[in-house]
Amino acid sequence: MTIPFYVPPEQAMRDKANYARSGISRGRSCVVLKYADGILMVAPNPSTTLRKISELYDRIAFAAVGRYNEYENLRRAGVTYADITGYQYDRHDVTARSIANWYAQTLGEIFTQNIKPFEVEIVVAEVGQHADGDQIFRITFDGSVTDEPGFVAFGGQADQVSAALKDRYSEGMSLAQAFAAALAALSAPGKGDGEAGGAARSDITASQLEVAVLDRIRTHRTFRRIRAASLERLIAEARSHGATQQAPENS
């Protein structure tokens, strides 16, 4: 008679969590932060076809890190959920909060019921008519969801990126200022150029980044990607802003 192998539930949960965290940490951190006219999303991503940042609905966007096929399935399911909800009820009933709760329930069920958890961490953001209506929700691999007040860094070395971003973030920043803060924070871990007051990396190019915004000024569909010449200009402004921060007050 074969005796079944027994693993205490708490040990199984810890093993799953460690497995998921290990997979997520191998990627690069992404950041999402509020600025004066909306919400900015920045992700290191050299691919021109595989997206980490996408539109979910009129005023709602999605960003993810981890295993691509898993978060792409979640993105597609989120779009379907939003479309069905808007069709059955009203477009105003589709909110970042409801989508985040749906993702939390889905990931929580996968984490507890499946042998292998999803190696993903996602953010759902919604831009309001006014700044106080902006919302950013972070959903982790086990279904935990948190409401982030102004900015969030997730994936990779998120703790270090978040600490660097905290030193630079302030409410009401312009898009250029917010991008400069995001770029400097993303370059902080282990590179020596992300110390407080430091400039953004000088070697980064537009082809290495995926950048998008939820632009409050736009009507109906607020999601807009920033790329090509527009992104090059934004990088140049970020470098200029970082250099200004580094310059001494009195020469």
Cβ-contact 142, 108 below 8 angstroms: yes
Domain assignments of the chain as residue spans, ordered by start: 27-245
Mean pLDDT for all residues in the chain: 89
What is 27-245's CATH superfamily? Aminohydrolase, N-terminal nucleophile (Ntn) domain (3.60.20.10)
- 251 — pLDDT class (breaks 50, 70, 90): very low
What residue ranges in the chain does DSSP mark as E strands? 30-35, 38-44, 53-57, 60-66, 120-126, 135-139, 145-148, 151-154, 209-215, 223-226
Give me the torsion for CA of 39, 44, 50, 54, rounded to 10°: -10
What Rg, from alpha-carbon coordinates, does the chain have?
A: 19
In angstroms, the CA 178 to CA 184 distance is 10
Q: Helices 68-88 and 96-113 meet at what angle, rounded to 10? A: 130
In this prediction, residue 248 has a pLDDT band, given cuts at 50, 70 and 90, of: very low
pLDDT at 195: 38
Q: Could you report the per-residue pLDDT of 14-69, keeping only the tens digit for each?
A: 999 999 999 999 989 999 999 999 999 999 999 989 999 999 999 999 999 999 99
- 250 pLDDT higher than 70: no
Over residues 136-175, the pLDDT tens digits come to 999 999 999 999 999 999 999 999 999 999 999 999 999 9
